[in-house]
Amino acid sequence: MALKRDSYYIAKIKEGDPGAYAVLVDKYKKMAFNVALQLMGSREDAEEVAQDAFLKAYQALDTYKGDAKFSTWVYRIIYNTAISRLRKKKLDVSSIDEDYSASVNIKSTQSALQELRSDERKKYLTKALQQMNAEDRTLLTLFYLEENSVEEVCEVTGLSQSNVKVKLHRARKKLYSQLETILHGELKTIL
């Protein structure tokens, strides 16, 4: 059975068929969990955030106008739910604008990564992402892993386009720095 467009299921829900929402939840649950996990850092918190966000999305479905893609609208709800939860927990979320002064040799890190097998690359990228702050992880995940456009990232995060571009640039530099440190450490253990 081929999936219909999101708008079909949204119309069904608005017509009184709440069962149609299960199709949308099933379609976006992995994405929701991944975004929540990048922000929250723990599987349990990510599952709670994703569930809360889907409940909020269902309850607010009448406010969805279709101006943005449904997935972008849900991303925004997940993002806001996670940020609210982080604030309530008073977790120390590092500022993205912190002073970044380490020099990074991006080209050598890129070539080292390209030489690794795909599964090794994924392991090192995951390890590097886990060492970054929640906002950096989220921006990189939304843009690169979930393949959202800059405009969609803006809609999700509420940041301006120029701010997203600057923060993505800084997050990429931090990611390369993390990868360089990890790969250098791995090289030392091998030799």
First to last CA, the chain: 53
The tokens of 122 are what? Answer: 């994924």
Series of mean pLDDT values for 10-residue runs along the chain (191 residues): 76 88 92 88 90 92 85 89 81 40 44 56 79 87 83 88 91 87 69 53
Place of tokens 């991944």: 34
Domains 6-92 and 106-190 are alike in CATH topology: no
d(CA 48, CA 19): 21
- pLDDT for residue 114: 52
Buried b (16+ CB within 10 A) or exposed e, 143-161: beebebeeebbbbbbebee
Q: What is the CA radius of gyration of the chain?
A: 19
- Using the 8-state DSSP alphabet, how is residue 145 labeled? I
- Total-model pTM: 0.57
- Using the 8-state DSSP alphabet, how is residue 19 labeled? T
Yes or no: say if 74 and 111 are a contact pair by the CB < 8 Å rule: no
Yes or no: say if 38 and 128 are a contact pair by the CB < 8 Å rule: no
How is the chain split into domains, by residue range? 6-92, 106-190
Of 1.10.10.1150, 3.40.50.1100, 1.10.10.10, 1.20.58.1030, which CATH number belongs to 106-190? 1.10.10.10
Fold of 6-92: Rna Polymerase Sigma Factor; Chain: A (1.10.1740)
The tokens of 43 are what? Answer: 């599987």
d(CA 130, CA 132): 6
The tokens of 116 are what? Answer: 């690794």
> What are the C-alpha distances in Å from 2 to residues 5, 23, 155?
10, 12, 28
The tokens of 183 are what? Answer: 């790969």
